Each structure stands twice: as structure tokens, then as C-alpha cells.
Chains A and B, each alone.
Chain A
Amino acid sequence: MPRLFGRGAGFVAASLLVCGAAEARGYYFNKPGVSREAYMADVGECIELAGGVRPGTPYVPYSPNLIAAGINGFFTGMMRSRERRRLSNMVERTCMADKGYARYEVSNAVLDEIHDLPTLEARLDRLFGLAASAAPIGQRTRE
């Protein structure tokens, strides 16, 4: 059974979903009428699955030069991080779609508005309002 995350962890998870878009815009998941508990449980399970992602290590040619090896390592790490983010996003999106959530893209202004709310509770309320709204804002996009 999916683990129910704590309130704080749930918010972090939900924030990651909103801000984790690889592109310039953010997104959120919407399922009209979903209860807060069910939403948190769904997000928690999807985050757990995304945490299992382990991207492969790209091939890096050997170099005896310390500077070249350092540069290689830097770019390899960068590419590996990018791949991990891509896979994690894909896992979250597939998992949430499987649970009946639709994905909506929103502009950065909406994301900023949420982040600028004064308290954690207010941010969580606003986010859950988006997730459960019967009239979601933004552009519906495929999972």
C-alpha cells in the first residue's frame, strides 16, 4: 500500500511536481473532487516510484590529464543529473496519469504566486485547490 507522507513531506513532494517541469513552464496534476488524503497518498506513491530511478553512467574516455579528467567528470555528472530528472519526471507523470490525474501546464506567474504565499499552509491549500478544482486553469497537456 502507498505510504502516507507527512504534511511537510507531502508539500515538498507536491512542490516538486509543480516546479519539476523540464521546460520553462510548470505543471500540476488535477483530478476534480479528489480528497486531500487521496491526493497526498497518490503523490507519495509516485514520488516513491520516481525515487527508484537510476540512470546509467555515460561512457567517458579515460584521460591521464587531471584537468581533462575533471572536465569529463563535470560534464558526465551534468548529463547523468539531466537523465535522472527526465526519468523521474516521466515516472511521476505516468504514475499520476495512471491514477486518473490530468496534467495542466501553467505559466511561471502562477507558480511564482504560489511560492510567494506567506505560509506553508496557504501554499498547500492553494496547491490542493488546483489539484481538486473542477475548473482547472492552464493548458491541458498529455501525460
Chain B
Amino acid sequence: MNMLLRLLLLMAVVLAAPASAAEVLRRVPPTLDPAKGYVLVEIRNHDAGRLQGSIVLARYDPAGEDVRGGTRSPGSALPRGDDVRIAIASRALERTRESRLYLVALEPDIWVIEGAGGTAFSLGSRTFTIAAGEVVDLGVLSPATDWFEGESAPRLTVGRVATLALLGPFARTPEQRPAMLDMRERGATDFAVPAQLRAAIIPVRLQPGARFGNYLGGLVNRIDGRRGRPDAAPPPVPTPPEQSEPPAPVSPPPADDPS
């Protein structure tokens, strides 16, 4: 009996644990929690195709220049039970074949758009601050593949399908390409802001230049892709490609080499 009581007590403690930092809401609540911030966001399909788009938001530490509790910012870790990130990929308020509208309840904090389509925007993303009781419109986000110059999605030919069927996981597959995110304000052709939120909603104020570690386990990129790179980025590869050079002796270090 004593054991059963202990078990029930333990379950009560677990259930009474603080709610996670963020939650995607299936419907607009009748009354908004004044202790939370809310984000309204429309996410279009990946590459404007059939694959549903998704993004990941994470709590950000601007002083440590990393996601809270990350390797560059261990001192900003959240208490146990609080989620540092949330994936927005299901529980849409409204949906069409091409797009979905989400309402997310967040803890008041600085949040960063950490990734989309399996890519972490570690090389440069945007943050926004959300205060308690605020409802912020993040706009319309369109995840897309950041192809190399002159590259496009490989065509699924009969030969490729046959190779995949015969060789399975041993078949040679094309290299993955990172994703990027196209962001714009909500327009007349997009989902309308739900009536309950119209009075309170404000446009988001985004801050560029957020960098952080790769915690999503996949590729990395800038949120704007290659077009968002600084001027220091290398020029595109000349076309047609240069001819192969024969192996040449390795050049010595330049004269002004500090070493």
C-alpha cells in the first residue's frame, strides 16, 4: 500500500512538473495566457512542392552566441523540464495543400529560427524577442533547397528507380544540399490572422546575425542561403569548368606569412 502511495505521489509530481517552454496550439485559446508569448506563422511546403515545410525555433543566448545551454554557452542552460527548442511541423490551425498556419505559445525570451528542412542555420540566422502577453506575426516562411549555381533537383528517371530498387541502400545517391528559408510579411493571398488575435497581433522585429552550434544533426547554412553570404564569399566557379592541371609542386608559404 505504501508502495502504491509512493508511486501515485511520484506520478503526481511528474504530472505537475512545469509545462514545456513551448507548445504548438491546435486552436486559438479563448483567453491567452498572460505569462506566455504567442507566435503566428505560416509555413509553406518545401520547395513549393508536396513535402510539408517545417521549422525549428530555439531559445537563444546573445551573450554566449549560442542556443541556450549549447557548447558555447553552457551557463545559460534552462532548468530541467524546460524545452530549449520546438519543432513546428504539426498541429496546424489551418491548412491547404501548399501551406499551413500555426500558433505557438512560447516562454518570453529571445528566440532564434534554428533550422528548417533538416538544416541548422548555424552560419547566420535571425532572432526575435517575445514578451509575456505579446502576439507576434512571424509572417510567411518558405523553406527551399539551396542549390548550387546552375543546379536543380535531380530527376527521378526509370534508371534511377531501378538502381535504387536493385541496390537499395548501397545505391549511389546524390549529395544532400542544405535548406534555406525565404521570409516575407503576410499578404492578402495568405492565411488571414484569426479574428481572436487581430487586435493584439504585432509584426515581428527580427535581428540578423545569430550564430550557434549545429544541434540538429544535419547540414548547416545561412537562413538566406548563399545569397546571404558576406562579400568575402568566393566567386562562383567559372563555367565552363577549368581544365585539370597536372600535379604541380606545392607553393611555399607567402613571404608575409606571420609564421
Contact = CB atoms under 8 A, between A and B. Distances in A.
A86 B252 contact: no
A139 B247 contact: no
Interface residues of B, number: 50
Contacts of B170: 79
A91 B214 CA distance: 10
B152 interface: no
Interface in B200-233: 213-222, 229-230, 232-233
B251 interface: yes
Contact of A128 (B122, B230, B257): B257
A134 B217 contact: no
B178 interface: yes
A9 to B, nearest CB: 15
A91 B221 CA distance: 8
A102 interface: yes
Interface residues of A, number: 53
Interface of A: 1, 3, 31, 33, 35-37, 48-55, 58, 79, 86-87, 90-91, 94-95, 97-102, 106-107, 109-110, 113-114, 124-126, 128-130, 132-143
Given A55-B217, A87-B219, A139-B242, 7 more contacts: A54-B217, A79-B170, A100-B230, A102-B235, A110-B247, A126-B252, A129-B250
Given A36-B258, A52-B215, A137-B245, A90 B176 contact: yes
A94 B220 CA distance: 7
